[in-house]
Amino acid sequence: MKSIDGIVICSCGIIIFLISLFGNMPMSEELVQHVSAANVTLSISDKNITAENKTGINNNWIREKGNSLLNAGKYQEAITYYDKALASNSRDLSALNGKGLALASLGKDNESIAYFEKVLSIDRNDTDALNEKGLALYYLNREEEAITYSDKVLAVNPNDHDALYNKGLALDSLGKYGEAITYYDKVLAIDSTNIEALNSKGTALDSLGKYDEAITYYDKALAINPGYHKSLYNKGVALDSLGKYGEAITYYDKVLAINTNDTDALTNKGVALDNLGKSDEAITYYDKALAINSSDDYALYDKALALEELGKYEEAITNYDKALALNPRDADVVFNKAHVLEELGKYEEAITNYDKALALNPRDADVVFNKANVLNYLGKYEEAITNYDKALAINASDADVVYNKANTLYYLGKYEEAITNYDKALAINSTHISALNNKGLTLSDLGKYEEAITNYDKVLAINSTNDLALNNKGTALYDLGKSDEAIMYYNEALAIDPGDVSHLYNKGLTLTDLGKYEEAITYYDKVLAINSTDFTLCICVLYANKGLSLDALGKYEEAITYYDKALAINSNSSSPYDPSFILNNKGLALDHLGKAQEAITYYDKALALDADDAEVLYNKGLALDHLGKTDEAMIYYNKSLSMRPNSTQDIPSTSIGPEGSFSGYRQIAEEHLGKRYLPT
């Protein structure tokens, strides 16, 4: 009977077998009673498993199945099993926490918080729920709230490494990198091999600009796990920041060997290649990233930058627009689009986009500065100065902004104010070469040639091969009447840059002044061979001066050819200037050819532009004299003398041209031959 008792306790299947075994023989009352008791015991036992124990066993299995799916990264399937467990027991803390984790892993942080709150409504000290709710808040960029939940855990357990680590993450995200490092260090004091804390300490150091130190922590993480992709990637970023682009690429490649579809690694490899000057190759990596995720606004932005670098401005704008379609409030993208429009000469559109960037970030001094530069290009100098002042109100120590303000004041003819601002720029940066050069030019315009030379010498003390300073020193020496010395400096400038049109032109002009007309013509021709279509005003001046040299050589027909070319350019130029110098000299050439009547036609054209031009009045008198019209000639001689009462000239001149006009055309050339420029 004892063995039957044992069988009853073990299994109902065996009981049935025993009953059937005894079925062919009569049973005693005692046996029947025991079997009945056994059946009753079985029945009661079955009911107990179904109602309580069996439910608990099934729930445990369902919940564990959910946990297994969660660990396998099958978050949606895991939620299905947690829901089944919660349908049986809505207060199952493990299932509530598990579902919260699964939702968080799917990026549904707000939904996940609701489940962690359910756990906390049951057990307010559940550290798992407190930690996970804090982490979800962190991912929602609610860092201050996240920290309060980490602190609640730490109040229960000051050594809870999850809470310490999560508080470090939140502080990191708030830009409190030093404080974040304190918490990562606390984690590492508990577990020096915590790979995530090592990596995160590295990123915090990186954010502090301590790239070499950051790399030591990435290396510690990689010593524990050489395939830890976060540290491989972050080490690449740190190397990038150190300018070690080739080494950075090595680490991005290691990440891509683990995951060929890592768009961050693909994009950053592209950036590193771009920094190495390999923009075309960089674009292939941006395209790989975009093939995986066409909505990757960082890849679109970086691709646009590479296209801009290659001068493919229209394509760059297309990619900036795609990035803006994804994130219209990205001020950096708007700013760079504006810059490309500026490069294309679409200044009004550029200003519109700079204004959009300022609407997003009103205190971005770079945007205000660039807007001011564009206004400068449009000749809106007063507006430009207003914007330079706005940029300086944000950052008063930007030498380039002060320098460009000085240039704008120069364009307004406010030379003394310009010099004051060049000096301010130099007070910020005493080696600002452009400020020294342009201060020199402005002093030259004020006739202070010796002071100008002092500034050019300061440039040359910083950089003895600065051809612009050598050229400008040459022009100052020329203006002091030291033409031979001027030639020496033009020669030094040309030794550095033989194809610079301003050096070539100025040497030609000075040779003309020295009476070396044949040699001067060779230099004018060199300029025209380099640039025969651009800078139309300059080319006009070049033709005029070449004509002048030919005139001096007695080659009047050839001279007239060049005067005509200059006049043709002037008449077609969008920015014509007073051509009276050329008209006057063509008249002189015609007079030399015995065509006095035709010469008078050109003098009259010049006088229609300036009726008080003493040189033209005198030359017309000369032509009339040659025609035997002495009385009329005397009228024009007298008019000329009335314009220049101190002149002693009373005899017809055979000079090559009025010195004043000659100097004036030097100034025109200087303004258009790249001697004054704005930094970009």
Q: Helix or strand or coil: residue 6? A: helix
- Are 543 and 549 in contact, with CB atoms under 8 Å apart? no
Give the span between the Cα atoms of 467 and 330, in whole angstroms: 41
Strongest mean pLDDT among 36-40, 206-210, 615-619: 206-210
- Are 617 and 639 in contact, with CB atoms under 8 Å apart? yes
- Please give the pLDDT value at position 656: 31
pLDDT > 80? residue 225: yes
Give the span between the Cα atoms of 212 and 238, in whole angstroms: 8
Residue the block writes with tokens 């009259």: 604
- Low-confidence winner among 8-17, 239-248, 325-334, 565-574 (lowest mean pLDDT): 8-17
Cβ within 8 Å of residue 195, ≥6 positions away: 221, 224, 225, 228, 231
**What tokens appear for 222 in the block?**
């990689």
pLDDT per residue as tens digits for the range 274-318: 999 999 999 999 999 999 999 999 999 999 999 999 999 999 999
Under CATH, which number does the domain 520-680 receive? 1.25.40.10
Count of Cβ atoms closer than 10 Å to residue 14 Cβ? 13
pLDDT per residue as tens digits for the range 142-188: 889 889 889 999 999 999 999 999 999 999 999 999 999 999 999 99
- Please give the pLDDT value at position 282: 97
- Low-confidence winner among 43-57, 403-417, 542-556 (lowest mean pLDDT): 43-57
Give the span between the Cα atoms of 299 and 267, in whole angstroms: 6
Helix, strand, coil distribution of the chain in percent, nearest 5 = 80, 0, 20
- Please give the pLDDT value at position 675: 34
Closest CA to 490 of 433, 456, 666, 475: 475
Domain boundaries, the chain: 2-61, 520-680
- Please give the pLDDT value at position 66: 83
Q: How confident is the model at residue 81 (pLDDT cuts 50, 70, 90)?
A: confident
- Please give the pLDDT value at position 468: 94
Give the span between the Cα atoms of 294 and 290, in whole angstroms: 4
- Are 217 and 199 in contact, with CB atoms under 8 Å apart? yes
Q: What average pLDDT does range 217-223 have in this prediction? A: 97
Average pLDDT, the chain: 83
Q: How far is CA 483 from the centre of its chain?
A: 45
Q: How confident is the model at residue 642 (pLDDT cuts 50, 70, 90)?
A: confident
Give percent of the chain with pLDDT exceeding 70: 83
- Is this structure's pTM higher than 0.85? no
Within a 13 Å sphere around the CA of 52, how many CA atoms are in the beta-carbon half? 3
pLDDT > 60? residue 657: no
Give the span between the Cα atoms of 328 and 483, in whole angstroms: 59
**What tokens appear for 491 in the block?**
């020669």
Give the span between the Cα atoms of 206 and 180, in whole angstroms: 12
Residue the block writes with tokens 């490899």: 269
Residue the block writes with tokens 């493990």: 94
- Are 474 and 442 in contact, with CB atoms under 8 Å apart? no
Q: Helix or strand or coil: residue 166? A: helix
Count of Cβ atoms closer than 10 Å to residue 67 Cβ? 19
- Please give the pLDDT value at position 57: 58
**What tokens appear for 338 in the block?**
């504006």
- CA distances 337 to 235, 318, 357, 373, 435, Å, are 31, 9, 10, 15, 29
- Low-confidence winner among 99-108, 281-290, 543-552 (lowest mean pLDDT): 543-552
State the SS3 of 47-88.
HHHHHHHHHHHHHHHHHHHHHHHHHCCCHHHHHHHHHHHHHH
For 339-360, letters b (16+ CB in 10 Å) and e give bbbbeeebbebbbebbebbbeb
- Low-confidence winner among 147-156, 624-633, 647-656 (lowest mean pLDDT): 647-656
pLDDT per residue as tens digits for the range 556-600: 998 888 888 878 877 765 555 568 888 988 899 999 999 999 999
Backbone angles phi, psi at 269, to 5 degrees: -65, -40
- Are 422 and 403 in contact, with CB atoms under 8 Å apart? yes
CB neighbour class for 418 (10 Å; exposed up to 12, middle 13-18, buried from 19): buried
* CA-atom Rg of the chain in angstroms: 44
